[in-house]
Amino acid sequence: MLKRSETLLGLDRAECAVLVDEAGEPAYRAQQIMEGVYRQRAESVEEISTLPLPLRRKLSEQGLSIGWPVVEKKFVSQDGTVRYLIAFADGQSIETVWMPSGDGGEAGDGTEAGDSEELFAGNSVPSPSAAKAAADFGALTARLKAAPFQGNIEDRGGVNVRGEVNDQGEVNDQGEVNDQGGVNDQGEVGEQVEDDDRISPQSVRALAAGDESGAALKRGATQNQWVQYQRATICVSSQVGCAVDCQFCLTALLGVKRNLSAGEIVGQVCAVLKDQKVAPPQDRINLVFMGMGEPFLNYDNFIKAVRLLVEEVGIAESRMTVSTAGIVPRIHDFGLEAIRPKLAISLNASNDELRERLMPLNRKWNLEKLLAAARDFPLRNRERITFEYVLLREVNDSRQNAAEVVELLRGMRAKVNLIALNPGPGIDFQTPAEDRVAAFQKVLVKAGIPTFVRRPRGRDIYAACGQLKRTVEILPAEAPATT
């Protein structure tokens, strides 16, 4: 028997079937309720128009509500990132982040989303699949040169206002990619990439194949919107606060208040989708469970939320990534799940002594145990485990640290994301110099480990990795060092 105060958001199909049966309704009503909640995102039971009015009234009289969280505040960054402060019925709140062009975190992870990010990242040797996407891009520019495209692009979209390319076979700097960005005139990944508008390789493939109908693109969409549909990323929270106590993370200063329910995890995603007017599966969205909290310390609710997001909201599991600080028993459990996101592990240090200083969790599950679990993790075809490494100025960012990381990961099907510390008040570490980040990356790449530098998103509004602390008063953030 469902409680009178139960919310519909968070119910799976089996639970919804029980609700319908108890109400004496035919079984197909469960499907209507699920569609109304997760796809139509109705604000109230009364708005689920596929249900007969007497049933809507009956459910409301029983005290059932949808259970949507409330967006209390929105902070918008200069780079387009949006930080949402989302409140729940008990007065607790969390943060969720919308990144319209992603941050490169999926690059090189062996999935379609990773191929897209790798094409635009341009900071490592491309994988064959990403190189193929780049070649498709080169083929597209050649086709456009022969027959200018005049399809579904507004005057600043896709190519230029005339739908043409310049005489080097590239798109000019008013359109898609210039000679410093993304793809050069040989269709190869460029050496430098600006982190603004780029067309996804999926859209490139569709256009190169002659699909100008809007199946891959929204009719009349701008180039920026093309990117949004293919590369936008939502950073999702799993707990109010966090108990892991990483010394370089603002969220750790909050401590942990409580776990989020499956409905609260799904609800924050749906609230952002609704605000951004995005509708999976038609629009491809990436999810990263890297917001407030440690997902594997709220494992059951996290896994249920993942299933709901895949089966009901329509976001593919291959477009989801979960980050753990290293809850070793749950890494084993996670590998057995039938539906699961990709796995990212927060490494952040090259030896146990340093990791214990930065991440006290290492005292319970040290690097030997953590890496053993990672080596045993059952990877899908082409999939790689991601290791996240936050670089702290002159703490863990030396070439020696990089060499130690190489030895830790030797022989593993893995990639590394480097994150230059995003600063904040109360954090006793500093952002590393850009040349040290580049040198660290070079050591790993030379050893054959795909390594990418994640682009900071929303740093000016405390929305970047490690900055989520429900900050309301925005102070100027420290500028990263350059030397």
- Residues with a catalytic annotation lie at 95, 465
Query: Tokens for 197?
Result: 């508008």
Phi, psi of 388 (to 5 degrees): -90, 135
Q: What is the largest CA-CA distance in the chain?
A: 70
CB-based burial, 191-226: b 16+ in 10 Å, e otherwise? eebebebbbbbbbbbbbbeeeeeeebbeeebbbbbb
Residue 331 carries which side chain, given as an amino acid letter? I
Locate the DSSP E strands across 236-384: 239-241, 256-259, 286-289, 320-324, 342-346
**Residues in the chain, total:** 483
Provide CB contacts within 8 A for 38, sequence distance 6+: 266, 270, 308, 312, 313
Does residue 440 contact residue 421 with C-beta atoms inside 8 Å? Answer: no
What's 237's DSSP letter? -
Does residue 291 contact residue 237 with C-beta atoms inside 8 Å? Answer: yes
CA distance 416 to 419: 10
Nearest CA-CA partner of 295 in 377, 368, 363, 236: 236
Torsion of CA 41, 44, 45, 48, to 10 degrees: -40
